[in-house]
Amino acid sequence: MLFFARFSFVLLSLLTVVAAADQTPADKGLKIAREIKLRDLGWGDSQTDMTMTLRDRKGREVVRQMRTKSLEVEGDGDKGLTVFDTPLDVKGTAFLSFSHIVGDDDQWLFLPALKRVKRIASRNKSGPFLGSEFAFEDLSSFEVEKNTYTFLRDEACGELNCFVVEMDPVDKFSGYARLVAWIDQDHYRVHKIEFYDRRNTHLKTLTIEGYQLYKDKFWRADKQVMLNHKNGKSTDIEIKNIRFDTGLSDVDFNEKKLARAR
């Protein structure tokens, strides 16, 4: 009996070693990325209230409040609509974006003072989102096809164990040479990302905190902090009042109806 147990243990270890040897770091990285996406599949639609706190090197702060609506699109990137409430000089401005797995996203801006909807060029993905330390590409939806992956190592992250995975953006217009992400092994949630710019210097670090479970399946974080090591500025995103199944559909993400957004 003891022998048998021992034997099966050896066999099991042997199998694991064989499997691991079979799997290149690229395979393992891709497998983790697919698992992240798979575990988040089927969230449908959601709405949130978002506060963005921009902080410069001298500690001055600007708080921006906005409301977001998001729609999952099967087989492509998600759709998002953001309406700004503060600062008051941009109140009522609405930003609509259709992110795509391949190619540029589609983006429109509604300018309330002129009652004008403008389609804007989306090659600005590496540019800052409204003066924050988040680039447009940092806020677009996670799609497996947007990067190639390399598993680097296992590492403790707080009380959890994390996979550390390098992600190399496929898009040549991305502002990054590579990203390094810490993903917990229990639920495949991203806890930290280091961003390396085109010169491969460590530009920014994103930390993600306060994960909560929604609909028994989907993990969403309350807080994201992006610190820019180059300029000393940081941006906090706090998300409140996350609601799923709010009845949103394609008709709520129509550029022709952007003037209605409130």
Partner 1 sequence: MSLLLVLAASQATANTFSWDGSIELEQRYFFDTQSDSFNNERGQTSAKLELEVFRDWNEGKDTFVLEPMVRVDSQDDERSHADLRQFIWSHLEDDWELSAGLGRVFWGVTESQHLVDVVNQTDLVENIDGEDKLGQPMVRFQYFHDLGTIDAYILPLFRPRTFPSIKSRLSSDLGVAANNEVYESSQADNHIDFALRYSQTLGVFDLGFSIFDGTSRDPDLFRLLDPASATTTPFYPQITQYGADIQVTTGAWLLKFEGVERDFDDSFYDDYSAITLGAEYTLVGLLGSTYDLGMLAEYSRDDRGELATAPFQNDLFLGARLALNDINSSEVLFGLVRDLDDSKSNSVFLEGSTRIADSVTANIELRYFESVNPSDVLYGFRDDSFIQLGLQYFFD
Binding site for partner 1 (CB under 8 A): 54, 56, 60, 62, 87-92, 104, 106, 114-117, 119-124, 126-128, 130-131, 173, 175, 231, 251, 254-257, 260, 262
User: Cβ distance 163 to 32 under 8 Å?
Assistant: yes
> Which residue lies nearer to partner 1 by CB, 19 or 114?
114
For partner 1, the closer CB: 60 or 153:
60
- Cα–Cα distance for residue pair 54/132, rounded to 1 Å: 6
Nearer to partner 1, 29 or 175 (CB): 175
Nearer of residues 24 and 231 to partner 1, judged by Cβ: 231
By C-beta, is 87 or 210 nearer to partner 1?
A: 87
CA 97/CA 125 separation, integer angstroms: 12
Tell the smallest beta-carbon distance from residue 115 to partner 1 (Å).
5
Residue 111 in tokens:
């300018």
The least CB distance from residue 139 to partner 1, in Å, is 15
CB 134 within 8 A of CB 236: no
CB of 168 to partner 1, least distance (A): 20
Q: In 3-state terms, the chain is what percent helix, strand and coil (to 5)?
A: 25, 45, 30
For residue 119, the minimal CB distance to partner 1 (Å) is 5
> Cβ of residue 124: shortest distance to partner 1, in angstroms?
5
130: exposed, middle or buried (Cβ count in 10 Å: 0-12, 13-18, 19+): middle
d(CA 179, CA 149): 10
Strand residue runs (E) in the chain: 45-55, 61-71, 79-86, 94-98, 106-111, 116-120, 147-157, 160-169, 176-184, 190-197, 202-214, 218-228, 234-244
Please, which residue, 22 or 89, has the CB nearer to partner 1? 89
Smallest distance, Å, CB 245 to partner 1?
A: 12
